[in-house]
Amino acid sequence: MKKLLLGLNLALVVLLSCSCVGETAEITENDSIFPTAESYNYVESDNLTELRFDMTLWEYTTRFNSMNSDIQNSMQLGISMTDWMVLEEGNIDESGVEYDYYYYNSGQVVLTATVETKSQQIMNLGCGTTVEQFESSEETQKNILTMCGIMSAVAGGYNADSVEFFSNLFLDTFDSRENSFWYQDSMYILTVDEGESDAESTLLFRTIPVGEELREQWSIADYKTFYNNNKL
């Protein structure tokens, strides 16, 4: 594994393996740093995290394409609804909720979506790639992080101006001891699966809606606290 992964936890990170919060710092409320959602895109669910996104895969795809066209990036990835593939279906989570797992392979990235079978609404979203691809060039890395930013901004009901914020949030999962952060009702987590080589080692950025009580129970690191402790 190359320098990108030095200092990271290289074990496969599962949903509940969340980093603990350090000493709490006073949060500086600054809208220019911390974006606020324009719409509340979460509804209660009986699933493991107690929330889901208030959108179907078709609605997510439509909004993803719209936001992608609103920003300037060299990738300009458009998603076709017909190119989403079902990898697994009829799975049951620990709370008894049935879900299907979808993926979309664009070449540079693989987008993922876990969808509740009954409601057809999304439980969590992902944007993945290999370590080799991520390290291939600064431009490729920027494009991948931009796709992660679009994914998160769309999921959380933010506008295109928030894409860079969420891209940087995911980048901070590399640059700090934290592999996950909590920000305004969602957990943002990096999953690393180490293979025999960088071409076989995968990175998966995910955004997962999490209820407030679970967030405290799982001790997910608060991103505002991290930002104020390390960047202001």
In the chain, where the domains are located:
3-12+27-230
pLDDT of residue 20: 32
Least Cα distance to 13 among 175, 229, 220 occurs for 220
Residue with tokens 């001891």: 177
Helix 138-156 vs helix 57-70: crossing angle, to nearest 10? 130
pLDDT of residue 115: 97
Ordered per-residue pLDDT tens for the chain, 232 residues: 544 433 333 222 333 333 333 333 333 445 568 999 999 999 999 999 999 999 999 999 999 999 988 886 545 667 889 899 999 999 999 999 999 999 999 877 899 999 999 999 999 999 999 989 888 888 888 888 999 999 999 999 999 999 999 999 998 987 777 789 999 999 999 998 998 998 889 999 999 999 888 888 998 999 999 999 887 6
Rounded to an integer, what distance in angstroms lies between the CA atom of residue 154 and that of residue 20? 27
pLDDT of residue 138: 87
The predicted model scores a pTM of: 0.83
**One-letter-per-residue 3-state SS of 147-213:** HHHHHHHHHHCCCHHHHHHHHHHHHHHHHCCCCEEEECCEEEEEEEECCCCCCCCEEEEEEEECCHH
- What the block records as the tokens of 185 is 């009702």
pLDDT of residue 211: 87
